[in-house]
Amino acid sequence: MLREKAPLKRGIIGPREISEYDEMFLSLVFERGGFYNAHGHLDRAGTLKDVYLKHINTTPLAASLHSLPVKQNLVGDLHNGIAYTEEDLRERMARVIERLISYGTTGLATCIDVSPDIREDGLLAWRIAREIKEIFADRIAIRLGPHPIFGFKDGTGRWDVYQEAAKTSDFLTCLPEKDLYFDESVRDSKVGFRKHIRMVFDLACELGKEVHLHLDQLNDPAEKGTKTLIEGLRWLNQPAISEHSGPAVWAIHMLSPAAYSEKDFAEVVDGLLEHNIGVIVCATAGLSNRQPRPINAPTHNSITRVLELIKCKVPILFGTDNICDFFVPQANGDMLEELKVAGLSIRFP
């Protein structure tokens, strides 16, 4: 028998009282100066309305059902629509920042797409993000990193656009999986996973800036991105940053090592410690990943092994990643919610 409910009325949801847990958590956060959101994609935030992909006869919610590689390719269609006009970028980014501030966020590190398919020679979103950073500077500290969403394929001009944005960036980001190929016959002008990393590290050393690498996003034990980074740092220089505390290199996500054997995971942890690599955890985005059933791995949730990393003294930061877009439609950018999801995922209060 159905329980009785009051008639649904417009405006039924009023001001929400916070729970005892939220009150305890928020009091600790505010004692420490507010939330720091270590990873986002501000230029794509708030693009869930149908109009943003209407020009390709689909909707962002429909697109959200696709795999991560397909979504990454669909970003090109987002760039070619109204989402990447000056008016829309400015209004959306300002609106999302206001919302983050209302959640108690006082610091944000965000990637911004830079690519030749975007207006103003690939730098429209970058220019507006820099303006937004200044407008809100007295309320939230925003750090910007150029994001090569399609990699650095030869002959595309993507590296040139990236280098230009890097000059005025706070940190650099990379997505080496977009340049991955396994055989020369199917290379298709991709520069390769390792060269992608090397290009960004060489530039970071020249400019003296942090590097944030998207790695091991698929929660697949066959994925070895973080291991490849660790191997590379045995011969690659790390950026030397004056008056900088903490790691100069951060691995974002690092989901797949959670699917490794204990021996392989321990080797990754040893490498992180050896090279002082930090890890940025985005719990909601991690849990939103597809989980192919044929893959065999130790039982685990699709999230970085946070507790083990903390126990081993690997530096950890948390971020929301995507906010209300076709990558993670449900994510609203609230770090309280993000950390609660993380706590539930790793069974830690």
Residue 242 has pLDDT above 90, yes or no: no
Confidence of residue 6 (pLDDT cuts 50, 70, 90): low
Burial class (CB in 10 A: 0-12, 13-18, 19+), 165: buried
In DSSP terms, 280 is beta-bridged to 252, 317
3-state secondary structure at position 218: coil
The predicted structure's pLDDT at residue 1: 46
- Rounded to an integer, what distance in angstroms lies between the CA atom of residue 161 and that of residue 44? 18
- Supply the mean pLDDT for the chain: 94
| Domain range annotation of the chain | 34-345
Average pLDDT over residues 279-308: 91
34-345: what CATH class? alpha beta
Name the residue with tokens 């007295």. 138
The predicted structure's pLDDT at residue 245: 85
Instruction: Kindly report which listed range (95-99, 209-213, 244-248, 338-342) carries the lowest average pLDDT score.
Output: 244-248
Residue 183 has pLDDT above 90, yes or no: no
- Rounded to an integer, what distance in angstroms lies between the CA atom of residue 197 and that of residue 310? 26
Residue 90 has pLDDT above 80, yes or no: yes
Higher pLDDT, 61 or 240: 61
As given in the structure block, the two tokens for residue 49 are 């309305």
Average pLDDT over residues 79-108: 98
Q: Where are the beta strands (DSSP E) in the chain?
A: 35-41, 105-113, 141-147, 171-174, 210-215, 249-253, 277-281, 316-318
Confidence of residue 2 (pLDDT cuts 50, 70, 90): low
| Number of alpha carbons in the 13 Å side-chain half-sphere of residue 85 | 5
Residue 339 has pLDDT above 60, yes or no: yes
Amino acid occupying residue 120: E
Confidence of residue 10 (pLDDT cuts 50, 70, 90): low
pLDDT tens track for 273-283: 999 999 999 99
Confidence of residue 7 (pLDDT cuts 50, 70, 90): low
As given in the structure block, the two tokens for residue 104 are 């108690």
| Number of alpha carbons in the 13 Å side-chain half-sphere of residue 317 | 23
As given in the structure block, the two tokens for residue 120 are 């103003």
Confidence of residue 14 (pLDDT cuts 50, 70, 90): low
pLDDT tens track for 120-169: 999 999 999 999 999 999 999 999 999 999 999 999 999 999 999 999 99
